[in-house]
């Protein structure tokens, strides 16, 4: 039988068009949200995120990264559609293979193609959650 160990959530915006934050170009990145999570030996953590973006110009390629502590455990590269268009990026990942303890999970994003010809803004929602199970 599956047992819930912990649940945590972090959000900087719950609604579309509630914020307007430019996405930084790589090697810089925006730290979107983070939270702490208790884990058990042999357990897993189900991570889910939703991020609303709007293209300013070009066709920006965005790299979303989930970190456990300082180590990346998941990345997603996606292209946002043409100028002025809105897109909701949703991602899910199951993290396994860690020791029992308490870990910080962080969600970041960066623009990975030319910032001279591509730009995007975070517009909301920006929501990140985790469920620790054993």
Q: What is the pLDDT of residue 64?
A: 98
Q: What is the pLDDT of residue 15?
A: 87
Name the residue among 64, 61, 38, 37 with its Cα closest to residue 50: 64
Q: What is the pLDDT of residue 34?
A: 97
State the 10-residue block means of pLDDT for the chain, 134 residues long: 95 92 97 97 97 96 97 97 91 96 98 96 97 97
Q: What is the pLDDT of residue 43?
A: 96
Are 94 and 44 a contacting pair, CB within 8 Å?
A: yes
Are 63 and 109 a contacting pair, CB within 8 Å?
A: yes
User: Tokens 């930084």, residue?
Assistant: 24
Q: What is the pLDDT of residue 91?
A: 97
């Amino acid at each position: 039988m599956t047992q819930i160990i912990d649940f945590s959530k972090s959000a900087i915006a719950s609604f579309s068009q509630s914020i307007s934050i430019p996405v930084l170009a790589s090697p810089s990145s925006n730290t979107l949200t983070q939270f702490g999570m208790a884990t058990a030996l042999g357990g897993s953590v189900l991570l889910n995120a939703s991020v609303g973006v709007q293209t300013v110009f070009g066709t920006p390629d965005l790299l979303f990264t989930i970190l456990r502590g300082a180590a990346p455990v998941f990345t997603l590269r996606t292209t946002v559609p043409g100028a002025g268009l809105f897109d909701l990026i949703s991602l899910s990942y199951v993290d396994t293979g860690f020791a029992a303890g308490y870990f910080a999970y962080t969600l970041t994003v960066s623009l990975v193609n030319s910032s001279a010809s591509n730009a995007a803004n975070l517009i909301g929602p920006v929501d990140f959650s985790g469920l620790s199970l054993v």
